[in-house]
Structure formats: structure tokens, C-alpha cells
């Protein structure tokens, strides 16, 4: 039979139709309680899990920085964009034709209003791949409005900080009933990469991204800070900020560009915390920040205009980790999307004594924290400047999000 549910995401009400049969592994309702997994770290040293590393040379002109990467990955970018086009066409073919005619002929002009060096980087990617500028720009603003994530910052008994996250993407963007997968999620997974941003041959900062996407959603300044960004579902969402930008109001900052600015220019945890708390944004969100000293960890809950709350580590009072999904930490999560409760249960079972890459990776590999939308898990340890990223896969039975 078919079950229909209305779910509010950002400022858009989406009707989700899920096919359910008596033998289906998917059910509409809260996820089943899963046992906290162990022994998942490290993942196999195979292409199915491993993520390649590239260098972006910040000494090059902005238009040339990504050329060596996107030329190699152009087919993957084209494939992803085609999957998105197919998804929109399936909803309304005539509307899709109008949308992509506008994207190809008009949206590219918006690039000229973006801050530098990001405008020139996007133009350089379009030129190198011969993909219409409007489509490259569209790809680069997906993440302002449509990601579902879990981020953790935790402190071990010695005061060493660890920061990790699952990046989930592709919700409601085409469900493959045959393979029980999200179409966009599957197209994104092969595009994951670790990037070292360098100047004069020295690493300035590191980030995890997708080929052709220039923003920073996960990143670190070795020895200084770690950072991840989660979407915050709110009626005053990213859609409104983008519309305002289109209409000429450029006061707000693009979230993933602001994070790159923070990674490029911050010299301390405190400086980054102030910037992420105060700058006006195009979209609401959560910034999860870790420093290099005991107690330096927080979740900054943002409206578009200001910080609403700063939730901080406090090991002296037993708050040795913070776990953020996509809901204000002082409110209950949506009952069909509760990754917080199983994540916290597994962190508590792990205990502070076992904080480290292995323990946290196991937590992020436990369903439904790990789900059909999960593309990667990233692990960061600031003092060692260590960033590890692994492609993630959720085998059936697995919750869709």
C-alpha cells in the first residue's frame, strides 16, 4: 500500500509518499531502537570507503584553483546535475523546463553578486568543466537549504578534543524504490574528497567537500580549531535568504562561504566563535565548533540575524560531549527523525574513557544516526591536525533518514 505523510522541512511542506509492503524493510514512523555498534573503525582500505585527497593552491588566481580537480571529476558533476534535473522533471516536466531555462540563461548572472574569491572560483569551475555557470552556481547553493547532519564534539579524560560528523544529503530528492536508496545521495558519494588548502606550500586549513562544491561544511585549522555546520529547520529558512539576495539584499552571508572565511582568517577558537555568533546569515543553522584546549567546544544555534543560544562543553560538570543533529538542543526532535536519542545513548555507552576516533566512529555508524542519506563520516583531532573521512553506507534494514 502507499502511505502519505506531510513533513515540514525549512519553509517548504513536502508530501512524502512511501511504498510499503508486507516484506518491506522500511516503515513510516520512529526508527527501531538499534544496538550501539562496535568494531567499525577503521573501515576497509577500499575505494568503497576511502576518500581521495587533493590540494587547492590559494596562491593561484581564484579562477584556476579548482581546475585540476573539476576536470578530473566533470562527469560526476554532470551526472549529479542530471539526476537533479530528472527529479524535478518527474515532479512537473513543464515547470522543470522553465526552471532550467532560467538557470542556464539567467541564474549565472547572480555569480557576479557573490563575494570574492568565491565568485571567481565558481566561474573557473564552470569554464573548466564547460558546465553552464548557472548550473554550477545552483549546485553550490544546494547546501544552504537541504542537509541533514549529526555533529559531535567530545573531550577525553586528558583534555584532548575530538570532533566528528555525519553529512547526510538528498532528503526527498528522488527515492529509488528498486534499490532502496536516495538518488542524489548515491550520486554524491563518489564525489567526496578531502582538501588541503595551501599557501606557499604550507597547509592553512583542511576541509571535506564534494567535487565542484567550493564551500566548507566540515573543516579544521590544524592546531587551532575544528568546525562543522548543520542545517536548522525553520520557517525563516534559507529559501527566504536566497530570495532576498536575488532581490538585491546582500547583507546576509552565505553559510558555507562564512565557514571558509573563518577557516582562512581565524587565529583562535574565541575569534571564530564570535564571528559565527554575530555575522548575519542567509540561512539559519548550527555551527559546531571545537578548539585546542579543555572546554573549548560549543554548538551555536543561529537564526539568520543572530545567535539564539551557545551550548558549551563543561567537563568539570560532566558535559564531556555535545551532540547536535538538526533541532534546537532544548527542544525534542521530530519523532520520525530522532537521531539525537540513539546518538547520545551510544556516546554514554562509549564513556569518556573511550573517546577517540574509534569510539565516535562507532557511534556515527549506529542506525539511525547512520541512515540512507549518510554520505560520509569525518573525524578530526585538532592538536594532531588529523582529518580522516570515510564514505558511509547503510545496509538494509536501514531508516531512510
Q: Going residue by residue through the chain, which has 401 residues, state the pLDDT in tens, using 9 for 90 and above.
A: 223 333 323 322 222 223 333 223 444 555 667 899 999 999 999 999 999 999 999 999 999 999 999 999 999 999 999 999 998 899 899 999 999 999 999 999 999 999 999 999 999 999 999 999 999 999 998 766 666 799 999 999 999 999 999 999 887 778 888 888 999 999 999 999 999 999 999 999 999 999 999 999 999 999 999 999 999 987 665 567 777 777 788 888 999 999 999 999 999 999 999 999 999 998 899 999 999 999 999 999 999 999 999 999 999 999 999 999 999 999 999 989 999 999 999 999 999 999 999 999 999 999 999 999 999 999 999 999 999 999 999 999 998 88
The dihedrals phi and psi of 203, each to the nearest 5 degrees, come to -70, 125
Q: How far apart are CA 203 and CA 194, in angstroms?
A: 13
| Residue linked to cell 548515491 | 186
Q: How far apart are CA 110 and CA 102, in angstroms?
A: 12
Contact 394, 370 (CB under 8 A): yes
> pTM for this structure?
0.90
394 counts as catalytic: no
Reference 296, options 384, 382, 191; nearest CA is 382
Q: Tell me, what's the pLDDT at 177?
A: 86
Domains of the chain in sequence order: 34-46+146-181+214-391 (3.60.60.10), 61-142 (no CATH)
Please pick, among 36, 149, 346, 394, the residue that the annotation labels catalytic: 149
Determine how β-strand 53-57 pairs with β-strand 192-199.
parallel
Amino acid at each position: 500500500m502507499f502511505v502519505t505523510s506531510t513533513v515540514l522541512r525549512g519553509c517548504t511542506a513536502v508530501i512524502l509518499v512511501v511504498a510499503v509492503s508486507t516484506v518491506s524493510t522500511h516503515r513510516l514512523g520512529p526508527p527501531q531502537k538499534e544496538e550501539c555498534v562496535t568494531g567499525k573503525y577503521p573501515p576497509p582500505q577500499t575505494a568503497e570507503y576511502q576518500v581521495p585527497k587533493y590540494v587547492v593552491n590559494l596562491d593561484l588566481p581564484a579562477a584556476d584553483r579548482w581546475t585540476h580537480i573539476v576536470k578530473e571529476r566533470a562527469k560526476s558533476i554532470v551526472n549529479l546535475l542530471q539526476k537533479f534535473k530528472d527529479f524535478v522533471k518527474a515532479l512537473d516536466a513543464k515547470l522543470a523546463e522553465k526552471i532550467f531555462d532560467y538557470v542556464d540563461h539567467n541564474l549565472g548572472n547572480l555569480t557576479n553578486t557573490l563575494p570574492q574569491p568565491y565568485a571567481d572560483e565558481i566561474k573557473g569551475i564552470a569554464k573548466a568543466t564547460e558546465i553552464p555557470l548557472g548550473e554550477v552556481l545552483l549546485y553550490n547553493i544546494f547546501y544552504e537549504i537541504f542537509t541533514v547532519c549529526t555533529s559531535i564534539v567530545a573531550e577525553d579524560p586528558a583534555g584532548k578534543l575530538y570532533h566528528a560528523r555525519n553529512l547526510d544529503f538528498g532528503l526527498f530528492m528522488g527515492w529509488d524504490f528498486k534499490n532502496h536508496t536516495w538518488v542524489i545521495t548515491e550520486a554524491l558519494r563518489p564525489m567526496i574528497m578531502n582538501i588541503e588548502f595551501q599557501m606557499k606550500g604550507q597547509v592553512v586549513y583542511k576541509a571535506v567537500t564534494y567535487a565542484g562544491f567550493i564551500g566548507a561544511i566540515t573543516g579544521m585549522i590544524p592546531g587551532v580549531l575544528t568546525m562543522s555546520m548543520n542545517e536548522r529547520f525553520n520557517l525563516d529558512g534559507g529559501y527566504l535568504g536566497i530570495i532576498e539576495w536575488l532581490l538585491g539584499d546582500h547583507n546576509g552571508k552565505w553559510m558555507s562561504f562564512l565557514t571558509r572565511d573563518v577557516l582562512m582568517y581565524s587565529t583562535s577558537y574565541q575569534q571564530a566563535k564570535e564571528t559565527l555568533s554575530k555575522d548575519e546569515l542567509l540561512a539559519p543553522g548550527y555551527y559546531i565548533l571545537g578548539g585546542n584546549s579543555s572546554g573549548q567546544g560549543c554548538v551555536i544555534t543561529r537564526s539568520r540575524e543572530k545567535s539564539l543560544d551557545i551550548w558549551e562543553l563543561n567537563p568539570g560538570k560532566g558535559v564531556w560531549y555535545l551532540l547536535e543533529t538538526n533541532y534546537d538542543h532544548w527542544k525534542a526532535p521530530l519523532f520520525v527523525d530522532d537521531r539525537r536519542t540513539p546518538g547520545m545513548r551510544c556516546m554514554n555507552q562509549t564513556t569518556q574513557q573511550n573517546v577517540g576516533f574509534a569510539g565516535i566512529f562507532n557511534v556515527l555508524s549506529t542506525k539511525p544516526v547512520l541512515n540512507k542519506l549518510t554520505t560520509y563520516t569525518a573525524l578530526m583531532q585538532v592538536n594532531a591536525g588529523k582529518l580522516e573521512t570515510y564514505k558511509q553506507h547503510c545496509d538494509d534494514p536501514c531508516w531512510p533518514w
